[in-house]
Chains A and B, each alone.
Chain A
Amino acid sequence: MPLNRTALWYKDAIIYQVHVRTFHDSNGDGIGDFQGLNGKLDYLQELGIDAIWLMPFFPSPLRDDGYDIADYNAVHPTYGTLDDFRKFLESAHERGIRVIIELVSNHTSDQHPWFQESRSSRDNPRRDWYVWSDTDTRYNGARIIFLDTEKSNWAWDPISKSFYWHRFFSHQPDLNYDNPAVREQMWEVMKFWLEMGVDAFRLDAVPYLVEREGTNCENLPETHEVLKELRRRLDESFPGRMLLAEANQWPADLRPYFGDGDEFHMAFHFPLMPRMFMGLKLEDRKPITEILHQTPEIPSSCQWSLFLRNHDELTLEMVTDVERDYMYDSYAESKMMRLNLGIRRRLAPLLANDRRRIELMNGMLMSLPGTPIIYYGDEIGMGDNINLGDRNGVRTPMQWSGETNGGFSTAPPERLYAPIIQDPVYGYQAVNVLRQKASEHSLINWMRTITGVRKSTGVFGRGSIEFLYPANHRILAFIRQLGNEAVLVVNNLSSSAQAVELDLRHYKGNILIEMFGKNIFPRVGDLPYLLTMGPYQFYWFRLRRI
């Protein structure tokens, strides 16, 4: 299957997020690798995804799961070689699957040679590649992000006897983007991978690239200048490639990252995700529609990326205190489930393993404006292990079968990079790909269906959205429209059956065709369109004037 050659491919895509370490181990060392991932591409193709987003796979001391990079131009030896990566990339492209990799641009590992040189002496040519200070009082308007572990954004370096700036862990010194040499070097890193054929970068922690006194050191104009320059060079040399921003900000603060279509192609919509969970628990569409109302228009070439869960905690930074307390009480009754300002759990446990709720949330993910991202394992309803520290509980091995180690690895179980889930509900014997593929009504087969239905029309990726406001607030209903094509989406956020009357006068004369079963529903007339919906049920209707 050839790659989708349209320039805006990312608007139509369904992205699958995976860490190579977690997916499949080909050499029996207990750690997933590129050969293993390569061997599972057919599975991903069947799932109906269009792109793979790989978490960092570069050489790293792995003190932050690879987000502490020690060499940007190589593959961590436990995952394979550069050649393994090339083969994986080619295989993915052959299946019509693009590859998005991480560009952890804000900081490096303190083990990176650049930092080692920088700290070696104050006269080192690379001294200025990082942000140094004789005091720890500069930029005191910047918040501390990892509140649970860090007390300051400055760390003392005993070698060069000065402080260095870090917005994340102290072993992750921030690069100095005021230094042109750093900007040039980062472009060289990008070029290295782009020339190999990589299709896109997810740029990590982009709001923090530049620091200025008297500010909170986030979203500064100078940061946008750096990003626009990278984008300009990307478009000139590698048209059709894509940049995805990770910036955990309010929508209005995110808007500048799209620029005039000249900065990022895509950005994560962080505030929407917790509100989808909130709306489901409250059985009320208000949190969802409110945040989408607050979401500004973006240039036509740009796109939001939507997700339900990812490798991090379910972040609650972009909610109010009242909402955060509600989310904690609703979804993280145990303190062990909480981390920083968030909840470190997977999708299925968050939704009490309720198939109807899992389907509804995926239905919303696939039908709201944006490009959906599926986190590996969520397509089969994998569980988590909150006894593992940090966010490792949601990064356990993929469960392929009921065999030893869930078919992930032939290594002795104690050698796995992390214990596989073994509890009676979510354990690999109960939840695995092989078993679900054999069952017609399994979650994975349902996921394959919904990805297929989504891709049967362009409206979900590119269409406009118009909310309907039925008086029944438990119903989230909207019309997605692209040209003459219109789709009506109706979601019942409630645990009970609901009746809803929809004002579809604008579509009078259309018949409704339910997109999963292709059945015809009554024609829209003058009266409000009455639908009855089961608990957590959702409908996608194609509106057809015949």
Chain B
Amino acid sequence: MAEESFLTDDFLRQLMNVGEVDILVGLPTHNNAKTVGSIVHTIQTGILRGFPRARAVIINADGGSRDGTPELVTGVSIDDARPASNLYALRTLHSISTKYANSSQPSNKVAFRTILAAAELLRAKACVVMSPESANVEPEWLSKLLGPIYHDDFDLVTPTYSRHKFEGLLITNLLYPMTRALYGVRIRETYSPEFGFSGRLGTQFLGQNIWTDATNGTGVELRFTLAAITGKFRICQSFLGEKIQIERRSADLVPALRQTVGALFSALEPDFPVWSVVAGSEPTLTNEADHGVLLEPLRINRKRLREMFSTGVAELESVFQSILSPATLAELQQIARLRDEDFRYPAELWVRTVYEFAASYQKSVISRDHIIQALAPLFRGKALTFLTENRNASAEEIENNIEGLCREFERLKPYLLQIWKSSE
């Protein structure tokens, strides 16, 4: 039976009124009334400054807000009935909203699918997804994320930011080095709430068979980046400056691992023909600075991280026996017994751990979700090591350490291939 359309009739009617566009800005929201007004204003300013002649639309895919978020978005269209008080627009700038259908809760996947569908129907040339939760969005971000697509024919523009040296540890210790090693492309932020993409990339991804597969539902942004790599689309990075979240969500690691590492592991199986033949990695063209590192002191509960690592290694021994090789497990148990001041999770061991998790994920030795959950305490151990080793490190030293880890992932890639093939 054909899948029921996930676009509502009302949304289609709105799209019909917008017509073909050059630029589409996707804005997934859920109860963002406090911030969405200023974000949309910034987006409008960015469009009008950077692309004053372009036909543009802002598409709000809302996950069922109860705080009036959609009304705030649609209320700021610029047209002949509603001229902007402080912005000059050559042409109409639509801002439309839809509550995506058949969804009981907010979902990045459904929101992104809605945005992609709108982009295809409107034949958008250049698209960008913006986060309603970034506190310091600047109008220039639009030009930085859209410009390479609109003017230079790139297909994907991922951002780089100035981050605190201890922010984004999952990216620096796993996602960046592993995707780089496996796919051969150095993309710093493979998973970002802001990114630009071409209409053709969006259409290609929309046609992939991932939308109805519940197990592949999370981490759609990362899957999108990987699709751009495997599809040999043109990719570049744009430096956006410092990124500040409006409201920090509670640091719940497991959902984050599901969305990112889970998505990466899921992709490895279908992408095997691509990554298995890649050796080394190539830098990605980056506009302006590559990225930045902020060094202000930060209070971190190292003791807590250490406890969670050791407890996890002990309590999950039977799970790890299914996932890890005996040698890797033994080494983990060994470092779990180290004194706090001596604790260190070596890079080589960390890479082997991750690769063995990936291979076990592919084999589904146990429930894939449990595999991802089991990685959490180990990641905390790796994070603690990173924090300790880089406590007094300069920006350059930190970068060197991350580069070292990346090389370790690249060096051990044959090990992943070996255990991957042995599982086939």
Q: Which residues of A contact B (CB under 8 A)?
A: 278, 282-287, 289-290, 293, 320, 322-323, 326, 467, 469-474, 494, 496, 498-499, 501
Min C-beta distance of A414 to chain B, whole Å: 45
CB distance from A439 to the nearest CB of B (A): 34
Whole-angstrom distance between the alpha carbons of A474 and B19 in the complex? 8
Task: Give, as a whole number of angstroms, the nearest-CB distance from A387 to chain B.
Answer: 30
Give the residue of A286, A322, A498 whose beta carbon is less than 8 angstroms from that of B19: A498
In the complex, residue of chain B having the shortest beta-carbon distance to the beta carbon of A329? B53
Please, which residue of chain A has its CB at the minimum distance from the CB of B92? Answer: A473
Contact across chains for A282 and B83 when beta carbons are under 8 A apart = no
A-B interface, 10 closest residue pairs, ranked by CB to CB distance from nearest? A471-B17, A289-B80, A473-B92, A284-B91, A472-B17, A286-B80, A282-B91, A469-B81, A286-B92, A284-B92
Q: Are B79 and A473 touching (Cβ within 8 A)?
A: yes
Contact with A along B80-122 (1 / 0, CB 8 A): 1101000011111010000000000000000000000000000
| Set of chain B residues within 8 Å of A501, measured between Cβ atoms | 13
The answer, yes or no, to whether B346 is at the interface (CB within 8 Å) is no
Contact yes or no, A286 B79, CB < 8 A: yes
Q: How far is the CA of A498 from the CA of B81 in the complex (A)?
A: 20
- For A323, the chain B residues whose CB sits under 8 A away are 90
- List residues of chain A with CB within 8 A of the CB of B79: 286, 469, 473
Docked complex: B2-42 residues within 8 A CB-CB of A: 13-14, 16-17, 19-20
- Interchain CA distance A283-B54 in the complex, whole Å: 11
How many angstroms between the C-alpha atoms of A293 and B14 in the bound complex? 25
CB distance from B83 to the nearest CB of A (A): 7
Closest to A528 in B: B13
Q: Is the CB of A496 within 8 A of B20?
A: yes
Chain B interface helix/strand/loop/mixed: loop
Chain B residues whose CB sits within 8 angstroms of the CB of A469 once the complex forms:
79-81
Residue B75 CB within 8 A of the other chain: no
Task: Indicate if B68 sits at the interface (CB-CB under 8 A).
Answer: no
Across the interface, do B88 and A473 meet the contact criterion of CB distance under 8 Å? no
- 19 A–B contacts from the bound complex (CB under 8 Å): A282-B90, A283-B19, A284-B91, A284-B92, A285-B92, A286-B79, A286-B89, A290-B80, A290-B83, A323-B90, A326-B53, A467-B80, A469-B80, A470-B17, A471-B14, A473-B79, A474-B19, A498-B19, A501-B13
Check A494–B91 contact: CB distance below 8 A. Answer: no
Question: Is there an interface contact between B16 and A473, defined as CB atoms closer than 8 Å?
Answer: no
B52 within 8 Å of A (CB atoms): yes
The residues of A that contact B19 with a CB separation of less than 8 Å are 283, 472-474, 494, 496, 498
Instruction: Provide the bound-state CA to CA distance between A293 and B83, in Å.
Output: 11
Interface residues on B, range: 10 to 19
Q: Please determine whether B16 and A472 come into contact, CB atoms closer than 8 angstroms.
A: yes
Residues in B whose Cβ lies below 8 Å from that of A285: 80, 92
With both chains docked as a complex, state the minimum distance between the C-beta of A509 and any C-beta of chain B, in angstroms. 25
Please measure, in the bound complex, the distance between the C-alpha atom of A151 and the C-alpha atom of B314, giving whole angstroms. Answer: 89
Interface contacts beyond A282-B91, A289-B80, A474-B19: sample of 13 additional A-B pairs, CB < 8 Å, sorted by A: A278-B90, A287-B91, A293-B80, A320-B88, A322-B52, A322-B90, A326-B90, A469-B80, A471-B13, A473-B80, A473-B91, A496-B19, A499-B16
Distance from A289 Cβ to chain B, minimum over Cβ atoms (Å): 4
What residue in chain A is nearest B82 (Cβ atoms)?
Answer: A469
Q: Which residues of B contact A472 (CB under 8 A)?
A: 16-17, 19
* CB neighbours of A289 from chain B (8 A): 80
Q: Which residues 60-91 in B have Cβ within 8 Å of A in the complex? A: 79-81, 83, 88-91
Rounded to whole angstroms, the CA-CA distance of A425 and B143 in the bound complex is 41
Minimum CB–CB distance for B50 against chain A, Å: 13
Give the CA-CA distance A20 to B19 in the complex, in Å: 47
Task: Report A489 CB to chain B, min CB distance, Å.
Answer: 16
Nearest CB in chain B: distance from A474 CB, A: 6
B83 / chain A contacts, CB cutoff of 8 Å: 290
Question: Chain A residues near B89 (CB, 8 Å)?
Answer: 286
Q: Which residues of A contact B91 (CB under 8 A)?
A: 282, 284, 286-287, 473
CA distance A499 to B19 in the complex (A): 10
Q: Which among A285, A290, A467, A471 has the highest number of chain B CB atoms within 10 Å?
A: A471
Residues in A whose Cβ lies below 8 Å from that of B92 = 284-286, 473
Least distance between B15 CB and chain A CB atoms (Å): 10
Q: Which residue of chain B is the closest to A470 with respect to CB atoms?
A: B17
CA distance A473 to B80 in the complex (A): 9
Of chain B, the residue at the smallest CB distance from A290 is B80
Q: Mark B148-167, 1 if CB is under 8 A from A, else 0.
A: 00000000000000000000
Q: Which residues of chain B have C-beta atoms less than 8 A from A494's C-beta?
A: 19
Docked pose: A462 CA to B19 CA in angstroms: 34
Which chain B residue shows the least CB distance to A278? B90
Q: Which residues of A contact B55 (CB under 8 A)?
A: 283
Distance, CA A284 to CA B81, complexed state (A): 13
> Closest residue to B80 on the A side, CB-wise?
A289
Instruction: Quote the shortest CB–CB distance from A368 to chain B (angstroms).
Output: 14
Q: How far is the CA of A284 from the CA of B91 in the complex (A)?
A: 6
A496 to B18, CA, bound (A): 13
Docked complex Cα distance between A467 and B80 (Å): 10
Minimum CB–CB distance from A467 to chain B (whole Å) comes to 8
Q: From B16, which residue of chain A is reached at the shortest CB distance?
A: A499
A282 CA to B91 CA, complexed, in Å: 7
User: In whole angstroms, how far apart are the Cα atoms of A473 and B90 in the complex?
Assistant: 13
- Chain B residue numbers with a CB within 8 Å of A283 are 19, 55
- Complexed CA–CA distance, A6 and B53 (Å): 47
Q: Could you tell me the distance between the alpha carbons of A290 and B16 in the complex, rounded to whole angstroms?
A: 23
For A320, the chain B residues whose CB sits under 8 A away are: 88
Please, which residues of chain A bring their CB within 8 A of the CB of B13? 471, 501
CB distance from A295 to the nearest CB of B (A): 13
B17 cross-chain contacts in A, Cβ below 8 A: 470-473
| Residue with the greatest number of chain A CB neighbours at <10 A, chosen from B83, B92, B94 | B92
Instruction: Among A286, A287, A498, A499, find the residue whose CB has the most chain B CB atoms closer than 10 A.
Output: A286
CB distance from B79 to the nearest CB of A (A): 6
By a CB distance below 8 angstroms, the chain A residues around B88 are 320, 322
A287 vs B13: C-alpha distance when bound (angstroms):
24
User: A501 CA to B12 CA in the complex, in Å?
Assistant: 13
CB nearest neighbor in A for B81: A469
Residues on B with C-beta less than 8 A from A287 are 90-91
Residues of A within 8 Å of B81, CB to CB, are: 469
Measured CA separation A501–B17 after assembly (Å): 9
Q: Are A473 and B94 in contact (CB under 8 A)?
A: yes
Residue with the greatest number of chain B CB neighbours at <10 A, chosen from A284, A326, A474: A284
What separation, in Å, do the CA atoms of A498 and B18 have in the docked complex? 10
Kindly supply a per-residue 1/0 record for chain B positions 351-376, scoring 1 wherever the CB is within 8 Å of any chain A CB and 0 otherwise.
00000000000000000000000000
* Bound CA span A287–B94, Å: 15
Nearest chain B residue, comparing its CB with the CB of A285:
B80
Least distance between A275 CB and chain B CB atoms (Å): 11
Q: How far is the CB of A497 from chain B (nearest CB, A)?
A: 10
Chain B, residue nearest A475 (CB):
B17
Chain A residues with CB under 8 A of B80: 285-286, 289-290, 293, 467, 469, 473
CA A441 to CA B20, docked complex, whole Å:
32
What residue of chain A has the Cβ atom nearest to residue B94's Cβ?
A473
CA of A323 to CA of B88 in the docked complex: distance in angstroms?
Answer: 10
Tell me the bound Cα distance from A473 to B92 in angstroms. 7
Q: How far is the CA of A470 from the CA of B81 in the complex (A)?
A: 10
Nearest chain A CB to B47 CB, angstrom units: 14
Given the complex of chains A and B, what is the CA–CA distance between A284 and B79 in angstroms?
A: 9
Chain B residue nearest to A498 in the complex (CB): B19
In the complex, what residues of B have CB within 8 A of residue A499's CB?
Answer: 16
